[in-house]
Structure 1
Amino acid sequence: MLKFARNADKRKRELEFAVGNHVFVKVSPMKDVMRFCKQGKLNPRFIGPFEVLERIGTLAYRVALPPMLAGMHNVFHISMLRKYMLNPSHMLNYEPLQITPNTSYEERPIQILNRK
């Protein structure tokens, strides 16, 4: 056995996701290209969380993607996924927008955080 293979096996992570778990999907940032609504130095490395729909074989998973990512393939290798630890503070409460017939809306502050 090669020296490199011995070292690689020691660091290998055993990952496995169940149907219904939530995962982040790894994206490869490219310089000067807008991907996933971000551009510049702070490109996201992972997007999500997305729900795992099914396991395909031993190393691939089908993930539920939102409609805005419909052009992306929804089956990912396990190396492209990162486990999402559910935290109730990550849940956002939002109210649906009241859009007028001329497709505009009124912005109203929800909470004043600071006054000077």
Structure 2
Amino acid sequence: ARVGPVAYTLELPEELKGVHSIFHVSNLKKCLAKDDVVVPIDEIQLDDKLHMIKEPVDIVDREDK
């Protein structure tokens, strides 16, 4: 929901109550996916500063020197 001329607030689940829910419009991007993209909350890992921890899923290529 819009809360100002350049700010939006997001409805976050209780599990993300520590995440700031108001964002400047410059941080929001239109989702161009054809289907709804939903990431299950139990798959998201956060560090102590609430930054998302990203881990590779697969190694798709390798080069030996």
The structure where strand makes up a greater share of residues is 1
How would you bin the TM-score normalised by the shorter chain?
Answer: 0.3 to 0.5
- Per the normalisation by structure 1, the TM-score is 0.28
